A and B are shown apart, each in its own frame.
Chain A
């Protein structure tokens, strides 16, 4: 039987790239997003038997226990959870609306914590599992206009390190993948000279792609990565080197 991976934010960008690579590696993927994008529908058409879609707004924190219960009831105990869904409001803190701060922290930090809580327990019963939280290099570097986003990602990294300590004895690894700037819809505001400057600063002269970061996620899910836990894998073309 194919191993089940629960993947949030699967409809676009990095999430979509992760779904594609995991399907190529014969995982069963349960894609979770608010709505199914055209690209995800097309992917489902090409491998319908191993890609399922469940609509959910992960910002609705009170609904997450029932969502996880429904996942386990319908699909069984998952092998892995990839917390990829996130929003990236760009704006200086001094004028960022409080509702946007709450929305961001709910979706980027609290939702992954709750999803981990409710799906980790099933992984422990299987004595095997993987949790991968998608962070960002912004968790450790500074970037104008991304203070709350950076706080959420740094929070996710701290969360992952301590959860790795709790879950390790149960055969579950917990790690973060921290991509650099990738050309996705989330970073579409980064253009012109700013984008060129980010590219110039990378060691390899180009941005890491969603496919580069997805490959790291796929590796962390593999048997070969069973001794890697509580760490952050940076995939940024050497931008922070």
Chain B
């Protein structure tokens, strides 16, 4: 699975355990706050992705960045996943 697929999978997983109804379909330009996950759900998503991918970009970044859309969220993870692979 690539990073985007892992994120999609994690979103469904988190939505299920936090009783949230995800918007269908989640597209690149879907605004995160309208995706169906609430703020607690996003905290859980970041924790789930840290377990799955071994990275937490939002801790590693020097300046806080808050992605607005699903596409922006995925790109942040792709960028840090590449950096972490380069560093190994």
Contact = CB atoms under 8 A, between A and B. Distances in A.
Interface of A: 65, 69, 72, 120-122, 124-125, 127, 166-167, 169-170
A170 B40 contact: yes
A169 B18 CA distance: 9
B47 A166 contact: no
A125 B17 contact: yes
B44 A65 contact: no
Given A65-B56, A125-B17, A170 B50 contact: no
B47 to A, nearest CB: 3
Contact of A121 (B17, B18, B46): B46
Interface residues of B, number: 13
Contacts, number: 31
Given A125-B17, A127-B18, A170-B44, 16 more contacts: A69-B50, A69-B56, A121-B43, A121-B46, A121-B47, A121-B50, A122-B47, A124-B40, A124-B43, A124-B44, A124-B47, A125-B44, A125-B48, A125-B51, A127-B17, A166-B40
Contacts of B59: 65
B40 A169 contact: yes
A120 B50 CA distance: 13
Interface in B51-87: 51, 56, 59
Contacts of A121: 43-44, 46-47, 50
Contact of A72 (B14, B17, B43, B51): B51
13 contacts: A120-B43, A121-B43, A121-B44, A121-B47, A121-B50, A124-B47, A125-B14, A125-B51, A127-B17, A127-B18, A167-B40, A169-B40, A170-B40
Interface string B27-57: 0000000000000100110111011000010
A77 to B, nearest CB: 9
Interface in B3-22: 14, 17-18
A126 B23 CA distance: 23
